């Protein structure tokens, strides 16, 4: 009975838009599972007991009367070690993980459920100067772990909406994402903390103030650095038609810029352009301490091509921004590229 109370039913299907009834108690931008295939959807309008749902997958086969399961949670991304050197779709499903899970099928099956980050992979966790009884709040760093050769100080932070006194802190050692590394006690309520946490994509991560830019963004392209200089913390737009070299500039930024982290969002790009990025980026290298290291070690790709559902384009930009904000909160310089915002605007 509880399960049925958490379910609505499809009233109307119109392309990626599904109208469901019996949705009392739902919230705006709540994540729902639509139909028997458990398609991912997000509530974008509430009217009485009816909810308009934007479905991020192909809706063919949905019929009136199919179930709609409420999750009670907003569309969120998983933030923690393992984001770098990874390729996600617009709602942070790992494409390589789906490829391996589905017997290396070239198509993404509908309704596929897979963890955003590899829960079994272990990382070397080193707690900082935190002891039992200390009071911590959102944003406090309580440990670091080594993600790879380029991200060797991945800071583990208290989620922004958490606080309390430390009841338990894990000793230095190797832990997977599913292992508890800290417990916070606030007013008798104990909250376990892990190497990861979730954050809603439509909610900006909290900041105190925006600092004025003090340092130049070096792109590695002399014509840009000389004639069109930018600043770390600034915003740039690169207009240009197909074949003019926008992707080449993106690759130059990834390889030569003085950024610590690169988040590249392919939002509505043609499949062949994104395929070129997916092929070229893993082959790019940079030199550190005399060793050639792949650029992907500091890069995260969010691939959402034009042949994927249009609705998912909107989410892909928010996903990329949230991933970039997470590394910004660690004190790193992040270059976040969206290619292209015009196709994102088409999806709005």
Residue where a domain terminates, one of 195, 216, 248? 195
pLDDT at 2 over 50: no
DSSP 296: G
| Structural domain for 329, as ranges | 77-116+206-347
> Which pLDDT belongs to residue 59?
87
Cβ–Cβ under 8 Å, residues 314 and 344: yes
Kindly report, residue by residue over 49-107, the tens digit of the pLDDT: 999 998 888 888 899 999 999 998 998 999 999 999 888 888 888 888 888 888 777 77
Residues 83 and 59 in one domain: no
Q: At 163, which CATH number?
A: 2.40.50.100
In-domain check, residue 201: no
For range 164-177, the mean pLDDT: 93
Compute the C-alpha angle 181/183/188, nearest 5°. 170
How many domains does the chain contain in total? 3
Kindly report, residue by residue over 287-344, the tens digit of the pLDDT: 777 788 888 888 898 887 665 666 667 788 889 999 999 999 999 999 998 877 766 6
In-domain check, residue 164: yes
In-domain check, residue 237: yes
In-domain check, residue 322: yes
> Which pLDDT belongs to residue 346?
61
Cβ–Cβ under 8 Å, residues 121 and 174: no
Going by pLDDT thresholds of 50, 70 and 90, the confidence category of residue 257 is confident
Kindly report, residue by residue over 242-251, the tens digit of the pLDDT: 778 777 787 7
In-domain check, residue 200: no
Q: Which of 315, 189, 337, 160 is nearest to 264 (CA)?
A: 337
In-domain check, residue 335: yes
Cβ–Cβ under 8 Å, residues 200 and 327: no
Residues 189 and 318 in one domain: no
Residues 8 and 61 in one domain: yes
In-domain check, residue 255: yes
Residues 6 and 33 in one domain: yes
Q: At 219, which CATH number?
A: 3.40.50.300
pLDDT at 5 over 70: no
DSSP 94: B
> Which pLDDT belongs to residue 348?
59
Residues 107 and 131 in one domain: no
Beta pairing class for 291-294 and 7-14:
unpaired
Kindly report, residue by residue over 190-215, the tens digit of the pLDDT: 999 999 999 999 899 998 888 888 88
Residues 218 and 297 in one domain: yes
Residues 190 and 153 in one domain: yes
């Amino acid at each position: 009975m509880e399960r049925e109370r958490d379910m609505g039913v499809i009233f109307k299907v119109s392309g990626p838009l599904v109208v469901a009834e019996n949705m009392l108690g739902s919230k705006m931008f709540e994540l729902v599972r639509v139909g028997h295939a458990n398609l991912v959807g997000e509530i974008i309008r509430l009217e009485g007991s009816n909810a308009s749902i934007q479905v991020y997958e192909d809706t063919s086969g949905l019929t009136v009367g199919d179930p709609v399961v409420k999750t009670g949670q907003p569309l969120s991304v998983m933030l923690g070690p393992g984001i770098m050197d990874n390729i996600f779709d617009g709602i942070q499903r790992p494409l390589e993980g789906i490829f391996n899970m589905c017997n290396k099928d070239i198509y993404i099956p509908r309704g596929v459920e897979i963890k955003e980050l590899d829960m079994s992979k272990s990382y070397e966790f080193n707690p900082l100067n935190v002891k039992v009884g200390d009071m911590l709040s959102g944003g406090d760093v309580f440990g670091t772990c080594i993600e790879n050769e380029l991200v060797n100080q991945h800071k583990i932070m208290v989620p922004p909406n958490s606080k309390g006194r430390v009841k338990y802190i894990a000793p230095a050692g190797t832990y997977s994402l599913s292992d508890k590394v800290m417990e916070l006690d606030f007013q008798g309520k104990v909250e376990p903390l892990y190497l990861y946490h979730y954050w809603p994509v439509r909610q900006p991560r909290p900041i105190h103030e925006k600092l004025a830019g003090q340092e130049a963004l070096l792109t590695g392209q002399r014509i840009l650095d000389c004639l069109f200089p930018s600043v770390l913390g600034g915003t740039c737009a690169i207009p240009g038609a197909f074949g003019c070299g926008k992707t080449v500039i993106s690759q130059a930024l990834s390889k030569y810029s003085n950024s610590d982290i690169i988040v590249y969002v392919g939002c509505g790009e043609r499949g062949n352009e994104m395929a070129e990025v997916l092929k070229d980026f893993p082959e790019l290298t940079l030199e550190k301490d005399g060793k050639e290291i792949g650029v992907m070690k500091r890069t995260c790709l969010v691939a959402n091509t034009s042949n994927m559902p249009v609705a998912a384009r909107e989410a892909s930009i928010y996903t990329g921004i949230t991933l970039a904000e997470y590394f910004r909160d660690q004190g790193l310089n992040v270059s976040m590229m969206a290619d292209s915002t015009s196709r994102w605007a088409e999806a709005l």
